[in-house]
Amino acid sequence: MLNRLRAKIREEYFKWGGIKLEPGLNHIDGGIVRKSKSAVVSIGNCFSIRKYAILNVSENGILMIGRNVFINYGTKINVRDSVNIGDNCIIGQDVLIYDHDHDYKSENRRDNFVNAPVSIGKNVWIGSDVIILKGTSIGDNAVIAAGSIVKGEVPANTLYYRKLGESQMKDISDC
């Protein structure tokens, strides 16, 4: 009963912080959502986020999370531009999603960024320890193998894995 009360308090805290949280069964188990005043965060129902997961949305950033999305322990999503996660996605432990890089050519590398949106389709399964970089688009029903680094386009119905500097994509629509 105490856990349900804590979850309800967290849910209300999200709403007070200007985060649009669809009504429904949401399981917020210690995950943190930080948003600036000008940022937009919208989360569908049946959302579940585990402890030590952090969603950080900076000035003018947009984070859209669909329905029935699960985010596991230690995942970090940092938004300066936009990140869109479709319905029915499973995001494994310690995943990193960034829609920006530091502009290493700038004199002020600390505060200057290069941004590009990240889009994750519906029914996507992202394994543990995956890194998703700016400008990435992952199609519906894709599976991203644990430990992969993803940049660019991953077509729908694809198993994507990257090991030791080589990336592989395999059509899984017939599996």
- pLDDT tens sequence across 39-93: 999 999 999 999 999 999 999 999 999 999 999 999 999 999 999 999 999 999 9
On the question of pLDDT at 171 being above 90, the answer is no
CATH of the domain at 107: 2.160.10.10
Clarify whether 102 is annotated catalytic: yes
Among 15, 102, 109, 163, the one annotated catalytic: 102
Question: 48 near 72, Cβ under 8 Å?
Answer: no
Q: Structural domain of residue 130, as residue ranges?
A: 2-171
On the question of pLDDT at 126 being above 80, the answer is yes
Give me the chain's average pLDDT, please. Answer: 87
> What per-residue confidence (pLDDT) applies to 38?
92
Q: How many domains does the chain have?
A: 1
> What per-residue confidence (pLDDT) applies to 174?
66
Bridge partners of residue 96, in order along the sequence: 76, 131
> What per-residue confidence (pLDDT) applies to 16?
57
Which residue type occupies 65?
I
Residues 6+ apart with CB under 8 A from 45: 22, 23, 24, 25, 26, 67, 68
Percent of the chain with pLDDT over 70: 81
> What per-residue confidence (pLDDT) applies to 113?
86
Please tell me whether residue 8 adopts helix, strand or coil conformation.
helix
Better-predicted residue by pLDDT, 30 or 57:
57
> What per-residue confidence (pLDDT) applies to 33?
87
How large is the average pLDDT for residues 114-124?
A: 97
Of 91, 84, 88, 90, whose CA–CA distance to 63 is shortest?
A: 84
